Amino acid sequence: MLSLGAQEIPLLEGETVLEGLERSGVDVASGCRAGTCCKCMLRADSPPPESQSTLRPTLRAQGYFLACQARPEGRLTLHSAEAPTPVDTRVEEIEHVAEGVARILLRPSTPFPFRPGQYLDVLHPDGHARSYSIASLPSDGVLELHVREIPNGRVSGWLHGRVQGDDVRIRGAFGQCFHVADDPRKKLLLVGAGTGLAPLLGIARDALSQGHAGPIDLIHGGLEPGRLYLREELSRLAEQAPQLRIHHCVLRRATQHEHEGQLDELAVRLAGPLASVRAFLCGDGEIVHKLRRKLFLAGMPSAEILADPFLPAPA
Ligand X SMILES: Cc1cc2nc3c(=O)[nH]c(=O)nc-3n(C[C@H](O)[C@H](O)[C@H](O)COP(=O)(O)OP(=O)(O)OC[C@H]3O[C@@H](n4cnc5c(N)ncnc54)[C@H](O)[C@@H]3O)c2cc1C
CB hemisphere CA count around 109 (13 angstroms):
13
Strands (E) in the chain, as ranges, are 2-4, 7-9, 41-43, 64-66, 76-78, 87-98, 101-108, 119-123, 129-133, 143-148, 167-174, 187-193, 216-222, 244-250, 259-260, 277-283, 305-309
When CB distances are held under 5 to 8 angstroms depending on the partner's kind, the choice from other proteins, ligand X, none that residue 37 binds is other proteins
**Whose Cβ is closer to other proteins: residue 41's or residue 223's?**
41
Give the one residue of 103, 146, 186, 290 binding ligand X; rule: CB under 6 A.
146
Selection from other proteins, ligand X, none that 312 binds (CB < 5 to 8 A by kind) is ligand X
Could you give the CA distance from residue 32 to residue 41 in angstroms, rounded to a whole number? 12
CB of 3 to other proteins, least distance (A): 28
Distance CA 193, CA 196 (A): 5
Contact (CB, 8 A) for 238 and 268: no
Site for ligand X in 147-186 (CB under 6 A): 147-148, 150, 152-157, 175
195 contact, one of ligand X, other proteins, none, CB 5-8 Å limit per kind: ligand X
3-state secondary structure of 39: coil
Q: Which residues fall within 8 angstroms of residue 196, CB to CB, at 6 or more apart? A: 133, 220, 221, 281, 282, 283, 284, 287, 288, 308, 310
- Picking from 204, 217, 250, 210, the residue whose alpha carbon sits closest to that of residue 98 is 250
Question: Which CB, 51 or 195, lies closer to ligand X?
Answer: 195
Interface of this chain with ligand X, residues 194 to 253, rule: CB under 6 A: 195, 198
Chain residues binding other proteins by CB under 8 A are: 31-38, 54, 285, 289, 292-293, 296-297, 301-303, 307
> Which lies closer to other proteins via its Cβ, residue 108 or residue 301?
301
Residue 177 burial class via C-beta count within 10 angstroms: exposed 0-12, middle 13-18, buried 19 and up: buried
Which among ligand X, other proteins, none contacts residue 147 (Cβ within 5 to 8 A by kind)? ligand X
Spatial distance between the Cα atoms of 203 and 229, rounded to a whole number of angstroms: 17
Strands 87-98 and 167-174: antiparallel
As measured in angstroms, the least distance from the Cβ of 198 to other proteins is: 22
Q: How far is the CB of 108 from ligand X (least distance, A)?
A: 17
What residues have CB less than 8 Å from 248, skipping those under 6 apart? 220, 221, 222, 225, 228, 231, 257, 258, 259
Please give the helix or strand (H or E) that residue 264 lies within, else none.
Answer: helix 263-271
Q: Name the minimum Å distance from CB 260 to other proteins.
A: 27
Instruction: Tell me which of other proteins, ligand X, none is bound by residue 310, counting a contact when its beta carbon lies within the kind-specific cut-off of 5 to 8 angstroms.
Output: ligand X
For the bound state, the minimum distance from the C-beta of residue 33 to other proteins, rounded and expressed in Å, comes to: 5
Q: Considering the complex, state which of residue 65 and residue 119 has its C-beta at the smaller distance from ligand X.
A: 119
The least distance separating other proteins from the CB of residue 25, rounded to whole angstroms, comes to 20
Q: How far is the CB of 145 from other proteins (least distance, A)?
A: 25
Closer by beta carbon to ligand X, 100 or else 108: 100
Q: For residues 65 and 178, which CB has a smaller minimum distance to ligand X in the complex?
A: 178
Name residues contacting ligand X, limited to 98-137 (CB under 6 A): 119, 130-133
* Sheet order of strands, 7-9 included: 7-9, 2-4, 76-78
Give the number of residues in contact with ligand X, rule: CB under 6 A. 23
Which lies closer to ligand X via its Cβ, residue 148 or residue 212?
148
Binding site for ligand X (CB under 6 A): 119, 130-133, 146-148, 150, 152-157, 175, 195, 198, 308, 310-313
